[in-house]
Amino acid sequence: MARFVAFDAILFLLPFAAYGLWLLVTRRSLGGVQDWEVRTVTYLSLAGAALMLAAILFFIHYDRDPPGGVYVPAHMEDGRIVPGHIDPSGGR
């Protein structure tokens, strides 16, 4: 779960980092308050939220198992823990 939260946080902060990098390249500093107006921060927040939403939709769409599979719960096999998984053959 922490991995997903960290991934979303990185995606949200990516527009802020890009804007900060742009400020450093063009103005040689991160500037003052006038460079980080409420309007600019709002646009950056909306861009970060859009990136997060796009990533969530991407992972929901592409992180699915094929239909008809059977869930095999985690179990011990030869002294090792085998994580739970979907058996695509349906247990046949």
pLDDT digits (tens, 9 = 90+) for 59-88: 888 877 767 788 889 999 999 999 998 888
- pLDDT average, residue stretch 48-59: 92
DSSP state of 77: E
Q: Where are the domains of the chain?
A: 2-67
The pLDDT mean for the chain works out to 87
Q: Could you tell me which of 70, 56, 44, 46 has the C-alpha nearest to residue 5? A: 56
Q: Does 53 score more than 60 pLDDT?
A: yes
Q: Cα 3 from chain centroid?
A: 8
Q: Give dist(CA 44, CA 16) in Å, integer.
A: 6
Q: Given this model, what pLDDT does residue 92 score?
A: 58
Q: Could you tell me which of 15, 20, 73 has the C-alpha nearest to residue 49? A: 15
Confidence (pTM): 0.67
Q: Does 91 score more than 70 pLDDT?
A: no
